[in-house]
Amino acid sequence: MRVNSAARLSPVCAMVFVFAVGVHAQQKPCVTASKFGPNDQIGNLNYVTPAKTLAASKLITKGKAYRLGIETNKNTPAYGTRTFSITVLQPGQAGGASLGPTKTTYNDDIIAGWVGIGSQIDGLGHAGIDNLYFNCNKAADFTMPDGLKKLGIENVPAVATRGVLLDMAGYFNTDVVKEGTAFNRAEIEGAMKRQGIQSLEKGDVVLFYTGWQRLLGKDNKRFISVNPGLGREGARYLASLEVAMVGADTANFEVIPFENGAGIYEVHQILLALNGIHILENMNTEELVKDQAWEFLFTLGPARITGGVQAFVNPIAIK
Amino acid sequence: MRVNSAARLSPVCAMVFVFAVGVHAQQKPCVTASKFGPNDQIGNLNYVTPAKTLAASKLITKGKAYRLGIETNKNTPAYGTRTFSITVLQPGQAGGASLGPTKTTYNDDIIAGWVGIGSQIDGLGHAGIDNLYFNCNKAADFTMPDGLKKLGIENVPAVATRGVLLDMAGYFNTDVVKEGTAFNRAEIEGAMKRQGIQSLEKGDVVLFYTGWQRLLGKDNKRFISVNPGLGREGARYLASLEVAMVGADTANFEVIPFENGAGIYEVHQILLALNGIHILENMNTEELVKDQAWEFLFTLGPARITGGVQAFVNPIAIK
Amino acid sequence: MRVNSAARLSPVCAMVFVFAVGVHAQQKPCVTASKFGPNDQIGNLNYVTPAKTLAASKLITKGKAYRLGIETNKNTPAYGTRTFSITVLQPGQAGGASLGPTKTTYNDDIIAGWVGIGSQIDGLGHAGIDNLYFNCNKAADFTMPDGLKKLGIENVPAVATRGVLLDMAGYFNTDVVKEGTAFNRAEIEGAMKRQGIQSLEKGDVVLFYTGWQRLLGKDNKRFISVNPGLGREGARYLASLEVAMVGADTANFEVIPFENGAGIYEVHQILLALNGIHILENMNTEELVKDQAWEFLFTLGPARITGGVQAFVNPIAIK
Amino acid sequence: MRVNSAARLSPVCAMVFVFAVGVHAQQKPCVTASKFGPNDQIGNLNYVTPAKTLAASKLITKGKAYRLGIETNKNTPAYGTRTFSITVLQPGQAGGASLGPTKTTYNDDIIAGWVGIGSQIDGLGHAGIDNLYFNCNKAADFTMPDGLKKLGIENVPAVATRGVLLDMAGYFNTDVVKEGTAFNRAEIEGAMKRQGIQSLEKGDVVLFYTGWQRLLGKDNKRFISVNPGLGREGARYLASLEVAMVGADTANFEVIPFENGAGIYEVHQILLALNGIHILENMNTEELVKDQAWEFLFTLGPARITGGVQAFVNPIAIK
């Protein structure tokens, strides 16, 4: 159906139509309109309710807490022209001077760097379709050089919800899933079945484990430029399940090389712009896999930098 | 006792002796030695065990999750010469260019700023005594301009533990506790009694509510330069209870003006350098107070910036 | 004539026609084509030849050298969201450590700031017309987030040429010329006559003195948001004389509020994009005026930051 | 004589004595006292007088102007942990938006980087002796994290003076002088004789050409870590001639490996701290050598960043 309609329509309309699958385009103010209303800035994170959090807390059986963040520093592979550095200094203590009768000395630090490096969350203002972002926000209206005026990362609510880890390496019976391997509905359901996960639910955080972190420091070029990951059909499938966020242990999250006929980072567009689903990158889930901790309480509070597009993160999973 | 001994000893020895109250100095490699051994880098966070986390998770009754972080931006009041800014840009999209067949557009952000601004965690490398930091780490040995080689913030483990909120504003029967009001053992115990909190335990995160955030944006000069807070005796008392971390809704955490005879940020020295207790600043606990949620699961994963001294944080409390 | 033609043509053509006054548009590859050929990146700086420099050196009679740069720091008023800071530290010398047998200690500094603050040169890649920049460079082709690939400030040749100072404050018989006062041909010629300047020549650097620096630190809001300055007719007039660069003692250089019917920073477009004439801002010419040094050797070497759009500058005038 | 005295004195006194050669230590407030008085901040740049500038202008015979600065970018080899990056963006023009009726578009740039990279000037606050800097300025007194309070680079006066280029590669009859080759009085005088330079005078800028820039981009590791250059005796010799500034086409300026018995960057200490002679690094004098332009007008205006320690520079030489 889609192809036929696309053939009859002009290119612009075809693209709109393709993106509008499953939605009655003419009933929405725009293709990226939020189901939560015109003022919504957090998309499916609206599904993380107290009931959801309470239920997720029952998943804790051992009390083991896991850091999902990797380290970020000047050697962390980064996309494009992104750079990162920190500087540590001892203000006002030149020459070894200390302060006061108890000889106080202190270190301070300064960050100068692109946020999209290492373990990060992509805010809903990160990726758009021809400058149209989530919930009908147009770039010209909400992006300023000193911060986003809408969809800024400071809007992310307290995240405490059910986390589900899909062990794709296990599903493909390998240590590291090959780049270009797309996870779509079949793979997702296959992994769930293998791991005994009954369902993916509204408000979940779904993380994919691929083993890709094993390339870090060994083949940084490959690490950053390609990886296995979610495909477009898989993205639409997860969106239909109304999960709150998705993530992976890769830098790019979605499958690269992109699928045949896919746009550039089209999965980011589907998740962020069309469905209000935040994305997490470089999630280190190695230990959760080792413990076979497939379902857990997932918590995350990104630093609330006003107008930020992304944030450095280190979510805590508790099993 | 302390005063008499101080009078008889030389100034240097006096300081060492004063700091060594309660510890047999000659049995430790140095006054800041960790009870967890010479390789320890996380201090009392070692007490956040799975048992502790599991028990803390039982405190969740409603599933309500709270963000403890305030927003950080260029207008956030900051100590000394600290500055902060973010820049948002659209790389490679000058002139409205988009990428690929699905017209991908995206925003990226860059942070240029001192980390010690807004809601933050002070790492154990932040404050020292005459260049001696936690666990006998000497500044010359572990501080480099591109990051700390020991005690870096990337070492902070997954924090999920019992959080306790002491409502000092309620204790003093005011909206905003006056600057210079020191919280020592009597005040801490008095607040606990008033709130019905039975005990403070090993591995807890203890947060003080003072109402001080109400000054933010109204009297930034006063907000940043003074505040009520923990005093030295209170710091030693909490250290004796082996809490894991402490925090407050103020920028400086400890009482300022400093107590009579106190050193400059001496409480920071007592907690960070002498006792391996991390400090949290600008914790927004207003809503927890409103809900009278005194005990809760406290979670925190600071972004793992290698060699960082502090980190921007946004802990999640769950009740 | 222009208005009639504009009325008859479509809006796009009208704009092209307006900009093409004095040029046979159809003979150039584009309206911003350089008369120096398709590979040119420096515009009228091509006119600064050895003969020009030699002649200019003869203007030196006293040997007095003047700094034209003002100080730049975090308090310098800046356009829009621009910020600036420097950090000074003593790397590897925490605790007063020095290096080696002669106890070497040193300070280092770090700049984090927008370049368009304080005394600056606008490169030919700074302002364009609908993303078309000097010499037919389209934004999408030459701007990358890590630097301009054409028209970068590193291309500016060694500048040593005749400098001419037009004392507009003297011309208007005031200390500080009022904002919104436009300098067009009549004012330029009037000032030249008053000062006894015979001519403006190919390859000159023409600087305007208005007294506007006197507002710095006293009324920064007014200082940065408005000023007297070159108007569009004046810009075209100077372009017809083929001067190499222009400058003023104001932050914005061109007259603000803009002239009736003028575009936003249209004079910048006329000079930079259409005529390859670099612009200097915040030129402190107070002392040259005091000495009535109207013609002098003007020298400038902007720091050669690869791909830079602008540069912090401090030209040296020698009389 | 020095060795004998050193053997008889305590280590501290020995160092002071060694540094005090030629000066009656007890008559100066401290070993780094300026001959220009207690308020001096520019050292031998005081010798660049109008008479000096006027005389230097007579050296111009052809009018050829040379850029002495090399390009600085993220690939420029840098000492220690120094990093550099620029970011180019189009503020407020997301989605291709332009401003106003003439469709103004513009690029802006941001620098985030250590200043001591590429062609630079070392200010008198850059290197010291055990935290004692030029003219008795103690680190604790004048260094603040947001800038030097004395000796900041903004104090550098307009520099227009006689420049002299010593062709050391020619002197050693090689393309690139070997690392570790020290230029002392014999080599300096030998080069002058070979080139027919009669004298070095008070207020001169003396530049050394070694060919070292040929390593840039070919062997960056060697380029940054070692080089030929001025030795201690040569430094004292030039100081005795009261030159204003010195420079070289190397990154470190002074000879590395350091001479036997020399301190770490001891030549920097001798020039900057003891004699108030600024240092220029990475001066590209290749073309001056090609033209055998040994004496010329040297001009320099470092950007006047308040409190800066160093500055990115691009001096202009005119022959």
Task: Encode pLDDT of D47-86 as tens digits.
Answer: 999 999 999 999 999 999 999 999 999 999 999 999 999 9
Rounded Cα gap, residues A258 and A180, in angstroms = 7
Residues on C contacting B at a C-beta cutoff of 8 Å: 74, 83, 85, 89, 91-92, 94-97, 108, 112, 131, 138-140, 143-145
CA–CA min distance A170, chain D (Å): 41
What DSSP string runs through B102-142?
Answer: TTEEE-EEEEEEESSSSSEEE-TTSEEETTEEGGGEEHHHH
Range C73-78, long-range pairs (CB < 8 A, 24+ positions): C73/D147, C73/D305, C73/D306, C73/D307, C74/B83, C74/D146, C76/C117, C76/C118, C77/C216, C77/C220, C77/C221, C77/C223, C77/C224, C77/C251, C78/C114, C78/C116, C78/C117, C78/C224
Cis peptide before B77 (omega within 30 of 0): no
**Between the CA of residue D133 and those of A94, C105, D264, D272, what are the distances in Å?**
12, 9, 15, 8
Rounded Cα gap, residues D154 and D305, in angstroms = 6
Other residues' Cβ atoms within 10 Å of the Cβ of residue A36 = 16
Which residues in D lie closer than 8 A to residue B89 (C-beta atoms)? 87, 89-90
Q: Which of A81, A87, A146 sits opposite C146 (nearest CB)?
A: A81
Which residues in A lie closer than 8 A to residue D85 (C-beta atoms)? 83, 112
What per-residue confidence (pLDDT) applies to B8? Answer: 44
Q: Which of D50, D67, D264 sits opposite C104 (nearest CB)?
A: D264
Query: For residue C244, which of D65, D307, B226 has the smallest C-alpha distance?
Result: D65
Helical ranges in A83-217 per DSSP H: 139-142, 168-171, 185-195
How confident is residue D8, by pLDDT bands cut at 50, 70 and 90?
Answer: very low
Which residues in D lie closer than 8 A to residue A138 (C-beta atoms)? 95
What per-residue confidence (pLDDT) applies to A13? Answer: 47
Element (H, E) at D278: strand D278-281
Which residues in A lie closer than 8 A to residue D143 (C-beta atoms)? 94
CB-based contacts of D156, cutoff 8 Å, min separation 6: D42, D45, D121, D123, D278, D300, D301, D302, D304, D311
Residue B122 CB-density burial (10 A; 0-12 exposed, 13-18 middle, 19+ buried): buried
What per-residue confidence (pLDDT) applies to C95? Answer: 85
How confident is residue C19, by pLDDT bands cut at 50, 70 and 90?
Answer: low
pLDDT for residue C100 is more than 70: yes
Asked if B89's CB is within 8 angstroms of C85's CB, the reply is no
- Residue D231 is given by DSSP the state -
pLDDT in tens, chain B (319 residues): 333 443 444 444 445 445 544 445 457 889 999 999 999 999 999 999 999 999 999 999 999 999 999 999 999 999 999 999 999 999 999 988 899 999 999 999 999 999 999 999 999 999 999 999 999 999 999 999 999 999 999 999 999 999 999 999 999 999 999 999 999 999 999 999 999 999 999 999 999 999 999 999 999 999 999 999 999 999 999 999 999 999 999 999 999 999 999 999 999 999 999 999 999 999 999 999 999 999 999 999 999 999 999 999 999 999 9
What per-residue confidence (pLDDT) applies to D19? Answer: 53
ipTM: 0.92
pLDDT in tens, A85-131: 999 999 999 988 899 999 999 999 999 999 999 999 999 999 999 99
The token pair at C1 is 């004539």
Rounded Cα gap, residues C57 and D293, in angstroms = 17
Other residues' Cβ atoms within 10 Å of the Cβ of residue A25 = 14
Query: Mean pLDDT for chain D?
Result: 93
Asked if B95's CB is within 8 angstroms of C144's CB, the reply is no
Rounded Cα gap, residues D298 and D302, in angstroms = 13
- Residue D270 is given by DSSP the state I
Rounded Cα gap, residues B242 and B222, in angstroms = 32
CA A17 to chain centre: 26
Q: Which residue has the tokens 């980072």?
A: A265
Q: What chain A residue is nearest to D81 in terms of C-alpha separation? A: A87
What DSSP string runs through A176-203?
Answer: SPPTT-EE-HHHHHHHHHHHT-----TT
Residue A195 dihedral angles phi and psi, to the nearest 5°: -90, -5
Query: For residue A59, which of B53, B257, C61 has the smallest C-alpha distance?
Result: B53
Stretch A166-184: mean pLDDT: 98
C-alpha gyration radius of chain C: 21
**Rounded to 5°, angle at Cα D20 from D247 and D32:** 65
CB-based contacts of A186, cutoff 8 Å, min separation 6: none
What per-residue confidence (pLDDT) applies to A65? Answer: 98
Element (H, E) at C64: none
pLDDT for residue C302 is more than 80: yes
What percentage of chain A exceeds 90 in pLDDT?
90
What per-residue confidence (pLDDT) applies to B287? Answer: 98
pLDDT for residue A169 is more than 80: yes
CA–CA min distance A32, chain D (Å): 17
- Residue C37 is given by DSSP the state -
Count of C-D CB contacts under 8 Å: 358
Other residues' Cβ atoms within 10 Å of the Cβ of residue A286 = 17
CB-based contacts of D33, cutoff 8 Å, min separation 6: D135, D136
CB-based contacts of B207, cutoff 8 Å, min separation 6: B68, B163, B164, B165, B166, B246, B247, B248, B249, B280, B283, B285, B298
Rounded Cα gap, residues A100 and A106, in angstroms = 12
Collapsed DSSP state (helix, strand, coil) of residue A12? helix
What per-residue confidence (pLDDT) applies to A278? Answer: 98
How confident is residue C135, by pLDDT bands cut at 50, 70 and 90?
Answer: very high
How confident is residue A258, by pLDDT bands cut at 50, 70 and 90?
Answer: very high
Given the DSSP bridges, would you call strands D84-89 and D108-114 parallel, antiparallel or unpaired? antiparallel
CB-based contacts of A232, cutoff 8 Å, min separation 6: A184, A259, A262, A266, A267, A270
Is the CB of residue B228 less than 8 Å from the CB of residue B181? yes
What per-residue confidence (pLDDT) applies to A95? Answer: 85
Is the CB of residue D33 less than 8 Å from the CB of residue D135? yes
What per-residue confidence (pLDDT) applies to B13? Answer: 47
Q: Which of A93, A112, A146 sits opposite C112 (nearest CB)?
A: A112
CB-based contacts of B314, cutoff 8 Å, min separation 6: A301, A302, A303, A304, B67, B68, B69, B119
CB-based contacts of A273, cutoff 8 Å, min separation 6: A32, A124, A127, A128, A129, A132, A133, A134
Is the CB of residue A301 less than 8 Å from the CB of residue B144? no
Asked if C145's CB is within 8 angstroms of A80's CB, the reply is yes
pLDDT for residue D186 is more than 70: yes
CB-based contacts of C217, cutoff 8 Å, min separation 6: none
What per-residue confidence (pLDDT) applies to C22? Answer: 46
Asked if C95's CB is within 8 angstroms of A105's CB, the reply is yes
What per-residue confidence (pLDDT) applies to C50? Answer: 98
Query: Mean pLDDT for chain A?
Result: 93
How confident is residue C4, by pLDDT bands cut at 50, 70 and 90?
Answer: very low
Residue B198 CB-density burial (10 A; 0-12 exposed, 13-18 middle, 19+ buried): exposed
* Bridge partner list, C295: C164
Collapsed DSSP state (helix, strand, coil) of residue D174? coil
Which residues in A lie closer than 8 A to residue B2 (C-beta atoms)? none
Asked if D106's CB is within 8 angstroms of C147's CB, the reply is no
Which residues in A lie closer than 8 A to residue D131 (C-beta atoms)? 94-96
The token pair at C199 is 């001519």
CB-based contacts of C22, cutoff 8 Å, min separation 6: C236, C240
Rounded Cα gap, residues D312 and D122, in angstroms = 9
Stretch C20-37: mean pLDDT: 76
Residues on D contacting B at a C-beta cutoff of 8 Å: 80-81, 87, 89-90, 93-97, 105, 107, 110, 112, 144-146
| Chains in contact with D, where contact requires at least 3 CB pairs less than 8 Å apart | A, B, C
Rounded Cα gap, residues C275 and D313, in angstroms = 27
Exposure string of A182-198, with b = 16+ CB inside 10 Å and e = fewer, is bbbeebbeebbeebebe
pLDDT for residue D25 is more than 80: no
Helical ranges in chain A per DSSP H: 2-8, 11-19, 50-57, 139-142, 168-171, 185-195, 220-225, 232-240, 266-268, 275, 286-290
Stretch D226-254: mean pLDDT: 98
Look up the pTM and report it: 0.91
Query: For residue C263, which of C232, C238, C239, C222 has the smallest C-alpha distance?
Result: C232
Element (H, E) at A126: none
pLDDT in tens, A7-64: 444 444 445 444 544 445 457 889 999 999 999 999 999 999 999 999 999 999 999 9
Rounded Cα gap, residues C111 and B144, in angstroms = 19
Q: What chain B residue is nearest to D107 in terms of C-alpha separation? A: B94
How confident is residue D22, by pLDDT bands cut at 50, 70 and 90?
Answer: very low
pLDDT for residue C268 is more than 90: yes
Instruction: Return the amino acid letter for A1.
Output: M
What per-residue confidence (pLDDT) applies to A4? Answer: 40
Q: Which of B305, B309, B310, B319 should one mutate to test binding to chain A, selecting the residue with the greatest count of A CBs within 10 A?
A: B305
What per-residue confidence (pLDDT) applies to D96? Answer: 84
Tell me the torsion sign for CA atoms C211, C213, C219, C221: positive
**Between the CA of residue A79 and those of A69, A282, A315, C173, D87, what are the distances in Å?**
18, 13, 22, 58, 15
What per-residue confidence (pLDDT) applies to D131? Answer: 97
What DSSP string runs through B187-218?
Answer: HHHHHHHHHT-----TT-EEEEE-SGGGGTTT
Asked if A110's CB is within 8 angstroms of C94's CB, the reply is no
Q: Which of A82, A86, A93 should one mutate to test binding to chain C, selecting the residue with the greatest count of C CBs within 10 A?
A: A93
CA A28 to chain centre: 25
